[in-house]
Chains A and B, each alone.
Chain A
């Protein structure tokens, strides 16, 4: 845990120094909302359509972060430096997943209110607590899978392609659960202020299973 905190602090410091990842994610999400606004030819959307638009936009914006997650390690020798240190290698998984989680939270702090402002019909207020819970579990899934596939992709030449190609199919169950859980929250009738428990449970289970798989095999992904 101590090593993960050391690497996480370094990653956050690097991002605050360069602003190479989070602004790109935020800008991508805002532009996508604008494109949906014109593409759907609708002033406002609600219910399952709104949930789908929000979740898909966040997922694609997250992929920008996933693709950049290990760039500094690869291009500036961070991998070698880390592997030469007498530390538990899975600390890198925890650190990178935590960094991606933080990036996603920052993205959502900007993108979700923007979505409420530009596209969503019903007010966001009543749905917010449930949406936060749902997005926290979805972020965990994105962070773990994103770190996992990014660690695979970074050793390949076509890493910008491999990340989404591997990550998106793996994330389909999490995407379904998040979108289906968010649908009732964003309904025009304000039918529910909490997401259905079934989808929360599926997301939580997904997080646990893929977290354990990533933890078990991550060490081998670092081998050259």
Chain B
């Protein structure tokens, strides 16, 4: 296990999760320092999304311990929920509401000042289409809105599941200050592009069939191991 120096924002100890008889995660232990980036790698179905949902306190682990921002989860998850930003496969936006209405709804739930909505809309360059229903937007535009939704409440911990999916290169650059390294957040990142994820990572967790195949420094995770992981 590799630990980036500093106060840990995430601590997982022997975490396991089952769906019926299927093991989705087992013996997952990793520590991530505040402000660091954890890249979670693995093939489809390796357990990446399950891990992110446990970290988001949307799924209970069946075994092991999870500490987020110093609090045990799910026991004291209510203390950290407002500090998590989740960008998953679904944009978590209502299709029949406009982008602005969606963000205003989230701002009210998180008790965020209304001005912040316009701020994040501008940051993802969606001001002009902000009044259109989400169902009329392209996938890329919807993803930009989803990024705006995820960072609206200024989270300390970002959980990013394929954050650049559906985005063109210009849009990927556009969202970089919000969810990239410079965001200042602790990040957990999965990506369809493992090399890009490795380049951003301070810690790597490689999952194979729900079990850790490698946990540690990305510099020690070579091409051979990467090839074996995706073989």
Contact = CB atoms under 8 A, between A and B. Distances in A.
B59 A82 contact: no
A76 interface: yes
A170 B81 CA distance: 34
Given A6-B105, A84-B58, A76 B81 contact: no
A86 B58 CA distance: 13
Q: Number of contact residues on A: which range applies? A: 20 to 34
A17 interface: yes
Q: Number of contact residues on B: which range applies? A: 20 to 34
A61 B59 CA distance: 34
A78 to B, nearest CB: 7
A72 interface: yes
A6 B108 contact: yes
Contacts of B109: 3, 6, 81-82, 85, 87
B73 interface: no
Nearest to B80: A86
Given A6-B109, A10-B105, A86-B110, A76 B95 contact: yes
Contacts of B149: 81
B82 A85 contact: yes
B58 A83 contact: yes
A41 interface: no
A78 B81 contact: no
Contacts of A78: 92, 94
Contacts of A3: 109
A82 B110 CA distance: 10
A13 B133 CA distance: 12
B81 A83 contact: yes
Contact of B106 (A13, A14, A81, A83): A81
Given A78-B92, A80-B88, A84-B81, A17 B97 contact: yes
Contact of B96 (A14, A84, A85, A86): A14
B91 interface: yes
Contacts of A81: 92, 106, 109, 149
Q: Do most interface residues of chain A lie in helix, strand or loop, or is the interface mixed? A: helix
Interface in B51-109: 53, 56-60, 78, 81-82, 84, 86, 88, 90-97, 101, 105-106, 108-109
B106 A10 contact: no
Contact of A86 (B82, B95, B133): B82
A77 interface: yes
B75 to A, nearest CB: 13
A76 B94 contact: yes
A80 B97 contact: no
Nearest to A18: B96
A80 to B, nearest CB: 6
A19 B153 CA distance: 31
Interface of A: 3, 6, 10, 13-14, 17-18, 72, 76-78, 80-87, 223-224
Given A78-B92, A81-B106, A86-B110, 9 more contacts: A77-B90, A77-B91, A80-B92, A81-B109, A83-B58, A84-B56, A85-B109, A86-B81, A223-B60
14 contacts: A6-B109, A10-B97, A76-B90, A76-B93, A77-B90, A77-B91, A77-B92, A80-B86, A81-B106, A83-B81, A84-B86, A86-B78, A86-B110, A223-B60
